[in-house]
Structure 1
């Protein structure tokens, strides 16, 4: 399969929530762009925050009025564009929409793909969520957890990890020790880990696979074997250059 076909295989009608760290915005952007190129109706948004400069090219609607926002998005979709909607701009960030609003939007347009960045990571490569994170709408059909492979082998420090004490407690890795594939697998498996509050099918999306030795990728895949996953995605590159190399079906 080609890179585009791999991205297409991840698209489906309904809400797709993207969580984790080290490439969430890349995944959201690419899914939106691929859906648009395929002439499929798609909306990109967040339930947390995103960079205002990152979303500006999407010509988003700002506001929390359902009728006005929905009308704006409908026109974007009719023109074959990617719909984009946020509540407001706050400095260098945009504030996301309430999950209930996205559930309603899905109810009104069940054939649309609504791709939601549902987590924040302070630009780090690994994280454990706060008690109220991720913010995942009730109608979510698939939760995609992003794992940046470049964090493997790095020391467990705040240079790479957000909410480091929580990550340490879940993974069992001592502060300053190397982050292992087995530790990341524990973070994906734990009820308070990356997939906390996940709904629907679970997909692990591994970014930065080209930045590590193939044996590291193989070790992580082995560590994930017992997890109840739908798919595991292996991707190289970053942002617009992110390219999927392989999609592995788990269950």
Structure 2
């Protein structure tokens, strides 16, 4: 695993994603994860890192996320059961099973009650707030993202393996990507394009309120070409005022396995999202 954060004069290696995001300087709260190319991997990594620090953590969704087969899965909105699982396991993954190995959010009222209780218990809440259908890059639909109003940090994830591929092959919501970039679906996605998408209020920053911190994760920096691509994106975003940009590789290492709907998936192998 390697995590680096862009600082004004270059990239600095970080010991953990938790530290890179500055969570060691914040009270636990709600983190919403959007984008493509590794959202569930990021959530699984953060869940593990909170667990190592003895910080309770709750994983939920405002849309859909993977269902897991684990003793810490909560499939009904029971505050008593959630508290017991947090006490016994230190972590909860919750939502209504809805088929195809996915879960959907509890109702707004149910979820609010549970999340309020979780935060009162000192838990960090990780919410997957949109879908990507397995694509490494995307722009949000009109109804996306669904950000919890009490979100304190929005993490926008991009899979660097999208760079160099045609927009229509690498991106979800091709029409929205075309609109933001002023390109066609046959055009090749570039590092500059990723920076534009990440900085755009119609792209990665859509719906992000002034009260919410916004950070970008450039995932899958698996070779020198992609590391250099991430470097260019980080520098461009820094110039546009986005002060926390991270490039990551190997985030699924040591996070354990997510047992999904009768099969085993590693955290880094994100399934189809709705």
What is the aligned partner in structure 2 of residue 203 from structure 1? 215
Are the aligned partners of 1:99 and 1:136 in contact in 2 as well (CA < 8 Å)? Answer: no
Whether 1:57 and 2:67 are equivalent positions in the alignment is no
Q: 1:57 to 1:80 in 2, by over 3 A?
A: closer
- How far residue 106 of structure 1 moved from its aligned partner, in angstroms, is 3.8
Q: Deviations over 1:169-192 (max 9, x none)?
A: 101233222211221122122222
Give secondary structure in 2 for the equivalent of 1:74: helix
Q: Which has the higher contact order (CA 8 A, sep 6+)?
A: 2
Q: Distance in 1 between matches of 2:61 and 2:54?
A: 22
How many residues align? The count is 235
Q: Provide TM-score, normalisation by structure 2.
A: 0.77
Q: In the aligned structure 2, how far is the partner of 1:100 from the partner of 1:186? A: 36
Structure 1 unaligned residues grouped into runs of 5+ = 243-251
User: How many angstroms apart in 2 are the aligned matches of 1:3 and 1:205?
Assistant: 13
Distance 1:186 1:115 in 2: 26
Contact 2:234–2:246 under 8 Å retained in 1:
no
TM-superposed CA distance for 1:219, in Å, is 1.4
- C-alpha distance in 2 between matches for 1:162 and 1:238: 23
- Corresponding residue number in structure 2 for 1:248: none
- Using the TM superposition, give the Cα deviation of residue 38 of structure 1 relative to its aligned residue in structure 2, in angstroms: 1.3
1:13 matches 2:28: yes
Cα offset for 1:8? 7.6
3-state SS of paired residue (2:70):
helix
* Map of 1:156 onto structure 2: 167
Hey, what's the Cα distance between the residues in 2 that align with 1:187 and 1:100? 33
Q: How many angstroms apart in 2 are the aligned matches of 1:107 and 1:57?
A: 23
Q: Which residue pairs with 1:165 in the alignment?
A: 175
- Alignment pair present for 1:145 and 2:173: no
Cα distance change on mapping 1:190 and 1:72 into 2, 3 Å: same
Q: TM-score, normalised by structure 1?
A: 0.84
Indicate if the aligned counterparts of 1:150 and 1:211 stay in contact, CA closer than 8 A.
no
Query: SS state of the match for residue 22, structure 1?
Result: coil
Counting helix residues as a fraction of each chain, which structure ranks higher? Answer: 1
Cα 1:97–1:210 shift into 2, 3 Å: same
Is residue 215 of structure 1 aligned with residue 224 of structure 2? Answer: no
Secondary structure of the corresponding residue to residue 225 of structure 1: helix
The answer for the alignment partner of 1:229 in structure 2 is 242
Is the 1:171–1:184 Cα contact (8 Å) retained in structure 2? no
CA distance in 1, matches of 2:186, 2:109: 40
Could you say which residue in structure 1 is the equivalent of 2:259?
A: none
Alignment of 1:97-176 (within 5 A): 97-99=106-108, 101-108=110-117, 109-110=119-120, 111-157=122-168, 159-176=169-186
CA-based RMSD of the aligned residues comes to 2.3
